[in-house]
């Protein structure tokens, strides 16, 4: 993977860091995550370990809020940021548990001159050096457009949302409802919020939809982990509907190949890990970026909630690869490169 064409080059080693010390030849980057679940995050962590040595950095952590303080992840991440800064990290990679509640952690890092890269989730308050993320509104648009365009007739799409404290969940919901209201007037969306991205509640939400919605045409689930439970619920209810998820994890690609899952969005865990480290290292060196800047990896720097974001590509993945989607066996998908 290449680097982004930057305005400034990396500064030489030995510059002063935010705590008054000097940087070593190996940049020290702290990692604060919300989850380490199997699927997307389990794979993200394996890629992170791989790219740590490739990019010549030392990663400290990850500190995982869901493990440390289950049910109070947002507060835990503030503590985790302070802990890592006290350990002398020169930059931070953070996956915010809550897009707004991460602000005190970001403010603290800024006060210590420690740059922050957020990965997967954009903060809605506070400033960061770079967000590494794809267009989550497009996730919802592509997912629900697929269901409506492949359904047997008009009816209802059940949307099993993630936690709406996350900008990702809100963006995915907006994308879905917007495309249905503007393009498919004979469809409606019934939304079910799932606090804390919980697997069991998500499966229960889908089961409720399978039971209660007589004209159910499809289920859009904001992430991949609940899919096996939803498929089991469909079998138990003897009711098969279109099912589309988001992540592009290896197991999802297997489900598509076996014709159990209809489609997913390739949320590139490999590129998320690589570019989170890359931008954290660039931040330590003082590289500058600007809105509208093109990258060498088919993306563009955009502004999201007042911060710069490398908006990585995230295609729809299907069995046939038709209508602009990516065929599930493509070697461009991270699910096929594990």
3-state helix, strand, coil in the chain (%, to 5): 40, 20, 40
CB 241 within 8 A of CB 210: yes
Predicted model pTM: 0.84
Nearest one of 89, 131, 123 to 106, comparing CA atoms: 123
Tell me which H or E stretch contains 316.
Answer: strand 316-318
pLDDT tens sequence across 257-283: 999 999 999 999 999 999 999 999 999
How does strand 326-327 pair with strand 28-33? unpaired
Give 311's strand partners. Answer: 133, 300
Lowest mean pLDDT of 50-54, 71-75, 227-231, 280-284, name the range.
71-75
HSE (side-chain half, CA atoms, 13 Å) at 205 = 24
Give the single-character DSSP code of 11. Answer: P
CA distances for 297 relative to 49, 234, 284, angstroms: 21, 39, 22
Q: What size, in residues, is the chain?
A: 338
> What is the mean predicted confidence (pLDDT) over 25-49?
93
Query: Which residues in the chain are classed under CATH 3.40.50.2300?
Result: 28-134+268-312, 136-267+316-336
Peptide bond into 63 cis (omega under 30): no
pLDDT tens sequence across 239-263: 999 999 999 999 999 999 999 999 9
Model confidence at 8: pLDDT above 50: no
> What is the mean predicted confidence (pLDDT) over 94-106?
96
- Residue bearing the bigger pLDDT, 12 or 229: 229
The CATH superfamily assigned to 28-134+268-312 is Response regulator (3.40.50.2300)
Give the pLDDT band of residue 296 (cuts 50, 70, 90): very high
The CATH code of domain 136-267+316-336 reads 3.40.50.2300
pLDDT at 126: 96
Cα–Cα dist 66/197, whole Å: 11
Lowest mean pLDDT of 164-168, 207-211, 223-227, 271-275, name the range.
164-168
User: Which of 188-193's residues contact partners 24+ apart within 8 Å by CB, and which partners?
Assistant: 188/155, 188/156, 188/157, 189/144, 189/156, 189/157, 189/158, 189/159, 190/156, 190/157, 190/158, 190/159, 191/159, 191/161, 192/158, 192/159, 192/160, 192/161, 193/161, 193/163, 193/164, 193/169
- Where do the DSSP E strands lie in 69-153? 91-94, 116-119, 130-134
Q: Which two tokens stand for residue 232?
A: 């089991």
Which residues does 298 contact at the CB level (< 8 Å), separation at least 6? 313
CA distances for 71 relative to 80, 141, 146, 195, 196, angstroms: 15, 30, 34, 10, 8
> Where do we find the tokens 């940021």?
81
């Amino acid at each position: 993977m290449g680097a982004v064409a930057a305005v400034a080059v990396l500064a030489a080693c030995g510059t002063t860091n935010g705590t008054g010390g000097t940087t070593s030849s190996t940049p020290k980057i702290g990692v604060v995550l919300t989850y380490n679940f199997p699927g997307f995050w389990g794979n993200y962590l394996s890629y992170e370990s791989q790219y740590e040595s490739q990019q010549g950095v030392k990663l400290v952590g990850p500190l995982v809020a869901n493990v440390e303080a289950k049910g109070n992840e947002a507060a835990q991440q503030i503590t985790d940021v302070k802990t890592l800064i006290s350990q002398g990290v020169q930059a931070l990679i953070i996956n915010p548990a809550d897009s707004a509640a991460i602000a005190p952690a970001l403010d603290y890092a800024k006060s210590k001159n420690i740059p922050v890269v957020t990965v997967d989730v954009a903060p809605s308050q506070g400033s960061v050096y770079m967000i590494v993320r794809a267009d989550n509104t497009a996730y919802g648009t592509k997912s629900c457009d697929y269901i409506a365009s492949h359904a047997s007739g008009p009816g209802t799409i059940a949307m099993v949302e993630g936690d709406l404290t996350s900008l990702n969940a809100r963006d995915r919901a907006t994308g879905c409802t917007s495309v249905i209201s503007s393009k498919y007037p004979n469809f409606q969306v019934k939304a079910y919020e799932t606090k804390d991205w919980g697997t069991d509640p998500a499966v229960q939400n889908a089961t409720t939809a399978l039971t209660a919605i007589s004209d159910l045409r499809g289920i859009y689930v904001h992430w991949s982990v609940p899919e096996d439970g939803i498929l089991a619920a469909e079998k138990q209810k003897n009711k098969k509907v279109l099912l589309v998820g988001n992540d592009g994890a290896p197991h999802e690609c297997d489900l598509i190949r076996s014709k159990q899952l209809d489609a997913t969005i390739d949320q590139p865990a490999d590129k998320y890990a690589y570019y989170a480290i890359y931008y954290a290292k660039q931040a330590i060196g003082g590289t500058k970026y600007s809105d509208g800047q093109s990258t060498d990896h088919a993306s563009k720097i955009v502004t999201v909630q007042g911060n710069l974001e490398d908006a990585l590509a995230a295609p729809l993945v299907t069995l046939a690869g038709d209508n602009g989607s990516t065929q599930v066996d493509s070697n461009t998908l991270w699910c096929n490169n594990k």
